[in-house]
Amino acid sequence: MTFKNTLEFAKELDAKDDLNKYQQEFIYPKVNEEKVIYFTGNSLGLQPKRTKKYVDEVMNDWANLAVEGHFYAEKPWWDYHERFANPLSKIVGALPSEVTVMNTLTVNLHLMMVSFYRPTKTRFKIICEEKAFPSDQYMFQSQVHFHGYKMDDTIVEIKRRDGEHNIRLEDILAKIEEVGDELALVLIGGVNYYTGQVFDMKTITAAGHKVGAYVGWDLAHAAGNVKLELHDWNVDFAAWCSYKYMNSGPGNASGCFVHEKHHHNDQLPRFAGWWGHNKERRFKMEPVFNPVHGADGWQISNLPILSLAPYLASVEMFDEIGMDALIQKRDLITSYLEFILKEIAKELDGNFEIITPSNPLERASQLSVLLHGEGRSLFDYLMKNGVITDWREPNVIRLAPVPLYSSFVDMYSFGQILKRGIQEVR
């Protein structure tokens, strides 16, 4: 499609957009009395209007039924989480029994490492990405120390080549091959949080398995954003947060995937609690742990229903739309934003570059823009003028047009504000 940097053209794209109507389902903050252009759905998604109803329902059931709500609430709490299995499994490409909701992301990755990082004298190394999200780095450090190993001997980071912003698939595959028999685990972010690069999860998973390692994915920036086929890719485990692209609200419950092939493996250690216990016998208060054969078997505590309620609202909205429709709009709007950025750069001889891969197969909603000149003052200008982006040191602005609630006119308007901003701060 040939794009144009005009309001008229942006309006035409909005008119043809099947998902345009979903903008009415969200609540936008306002700046200068106008709804903002929101580019930080990769950090905290906007609040869907329908969420309040789901939360109110729990509050009311709690008020009216108290403990009886476990069994007699509108949606009984004792198996509330089972409502996620179907819709969530479609979002991440899994069987319903392979997904569960519990805890928060880093906690779930730790729990998954308890089961899938079992270092031995000869096989103990972990492959991860260079500059992984800090929480993941701290997780690796603490896990490695917990098992009595040293970071330098254990962690193998895949690096970017000099002068390049993204990690090459061939370099990941070569490193997996090289570490070979010593490789215990590959654990990488499916989408890099800084650059927005999407990794070839299928190929990397197969390569890890070929040398006998487990392969897991941190899907914080991938869930609800990228087409995932976790079951078919044979991924061992994955976890994601629900408050980024899945709009469940600050710090809300995480999702977790454990491949079916591990559901009956009694040899896998895990940290257990009563909610992972055989469902039929959970309330018999038996002394010996007998896990549910499925991802639910990794649950520990009874679930935070007030945290699940907004997540359920979100998952049902995704189910209504389907990932394919989302991804179709995602690619169009991201390409349009890329076009706008390039137009502005041309007009103003702009001093910035997009460091996200230009290949649509290697990116999703996010474009990361590296500023060479204007820096932080430009970011401040954008925020004051109703463009909510985020700033990552040393000088990157991340822009995520989220297909559920971003419009093509937003992209055009953003371009105009960016242009005025660059002119003003120069």
Ligand X SMILES: *Cc1c(COP(=O)(O)O)cnc(C)c1O
Interface contacts to ligand X, rule CB under 6 A: 104-106, 133, 135-136, 189, 193, 218, 220-221, 241
Q: Which residue, 291 or 401, is less far from ligand X as judged by CB? A: 401
- Pairing label, strands 125-129, 183-189: parallel
The answer to whether 37 touches 386, Cβ cutoff 8 Å, is yes
Q: Would the annotation count 221 as a binding residue?
A: yes
Q: Would the annotation count 134 as a binding residue?
A: yes
Q: Would the annotation count 9 as a binding residue?
A: no
Q: Would the annotation count 200 as a binding residue?
A: no
Q: Given the structure tokens 């499609």, which residue do they identify?
A: 1
Q: Would the annotation count 302 as a binding residue?
A: yes
CA separation for the pair 184, 165 (Å, rounded): 27
Q: Would the annotation count 266 as a binding residue?
A: no
Least separation in angstroms between CB 43 and ligand X: 7
Q: Which residue, 218 or 236, is less far from ligand X as judged by CB? A: 218
Least separation in angstroms between CB 135 and ligand X: 4
CA separation for the pair 254, 243 (Å, rounded): 8
Q: Which residue, 244 or 277, is less far from ligand X as judged by CB? A: 244
Eight-state DSSP code of residue 302: P
Least separation in angstroms between CB 244 and ligand X: 6
Least separation in angstroms between CB 172 and ligand X: 17
The answer to whether 58 touches 309, Cβ cutoff 8 Å, is yes
Q: Would the annotation count 268 as a binding residue?
A: no
Neighbours of 62 (CB within 10 A): 15
User: Cα torsion for 174, 175, 177, 178, to the nearest 10°?
Assistant: 110
CA separation for the pair 139, 106 (Å, rounded): 7
DSSP per position, 348-407: HT--EEE-S-SSGGGB-S-EEEEESSSTHHHHHHHHHTTEE-EEETTTEEEEB--TTT--
Q: Would the annotation count 379 as a binding residue?
A: no
Q: Would the annotation count 407 as a binding residue?
A: no
Q: Which residue, 176 or 187, is less far from ligand X as judged by CB? A: 187
Q: Which residue, 73 or 315, is less far from ligand X as judged by CB? A: 315
CA separation for the pair 255, 369 (Å, rounded): 29
| Closest by Cα among 328, 404, 339, 344 to 367 | 339
Least separation in angstroms between CB 310 and ligand X: 15
Least separation in angstroms between CB 105 and ligand X: 4
Least separation in angstroms between CB 132 and ligand X: 7
CA separation for the pair 422, 6 (Å, rounded): 19
Q: Which residue, 105 or 167, is less far from ligand X as judged by CB? A: 105
Least separation in angstroms between CB 221 and ligand X: 5
Q: Which residue, 40 or 385, is less far from ligand X as judged by CB? A: 40
- Helices marked H in 286-370: 305-321, 323-348
Strand-pairing partners, residue 197, are 363
Residue 212's φ and ψ, nearest 5 degrees, are 90, 20
For residues 117-139, one letter each, b for 16 or more C-beta atoms within 10 angstroms of the residue's C-beta and e for the rest, the string is: bbbeeebbbbbbbeebbeebbeb
Q: Would the annotation count 135 as a binding residue?
A: yes
Least separation in angstroms between CB 241 and ligand X: 4
Q: Which residue, 84 or 412, is less far from ligand X as judged by CB? A: 84
Q: Would the annotation count 140 as a binding residue?
A: no
Q: Which residue, 192 or 406, is less far from ligand X as judged by CB? A: 192
Residue 204's φ and ψ, nearest 5 degrees, are -70, -40
Binding residue positions for pyridoxal 5'-phosphate: 105-106, 133-136, 218, 221, 243, 274, 302
Residue positions in the annotated binding site? 105-106, 133-136, 218, 221, 243, 274, 302
